[in-house]
Amino acid sequence: MRLFCGLDLAPDVTRALGELVNQLRPAARINWIPVENLHLTTKFIGEWPAGRIEEITRALAPLAARAPFRIEIRGLGWFPNPHSPRIFWAGVKAPPDLAELARATDAALGNIGVPPEARPFSPHLTLARIKSPVPLPEMLGRIAGLESTGFGSFAAGAFYLYRSERGPGGSVYTKLAEFPLNQP
């Protein structure tokens, strides 16, 4: 099973991002992520045996003993850069609590054999992937003409363990476990 940990977006944030994607999609032939699949990944686990899921849920459960926190989705950008883009993303503004949750998740899962993250945590929402160079001037013009690149905020009240499966229409994400945040 292919697994990851992450946070869901609030419906109004998803709606705002959906409106953005609908506005930009005709301007560039890139691989847009279905809006219903948008989430904030805190830890990519990768392949994991189905028989060891309970081991992961036991490792993650103590991490929920923290207060909920606010996340704002604001700004747009490119990885690695706008001149040779591979990823088009929306920015994530959050207090240190988000990075701490990602760090704690990495540490807890490292204790049961999940390899640690090689790169520093860089919270973002992947809106599209760019596999080969495509002309982007029209899309860049539409982005420059946006009234705002703020897409809303929400309280992160839980994180989830997800399974990712590739289907004919793209990836399908299934929640395997929920971890509601609750201050001890």
Q: Among all residues, which ones are annotated catalytic?
A: 39, 124
The rounded distance, in Å, linking the Cα atoms of 96 and 73 is 15
Structure tokens at 35: 């809006």
The rounded distance, in Å, linking the Cα atoms of 131 and 32 is 11
Structure tokens at 103: 């760090």
Residue 117 DSSP class: P
**CB neighbours (10 Å) of residue 176?**
15
**CB neighbours (10 Å) of residue 15?**
14
The rounded distance, in Å, linking the Cα atoms of 170 and 23 is 21
The rounded distance, in Å, linking the Cα atoms of 57 and 13 is 28
Q: Could you tell me the strand order of the sheet in which 31-32 lies?
A: 31-32, 124-129, 87-93, 69-79, 150-156
Asked if residue 41 lies in contact with residue 8, where contact means CB atoms within 8 angstroms, the answer is no
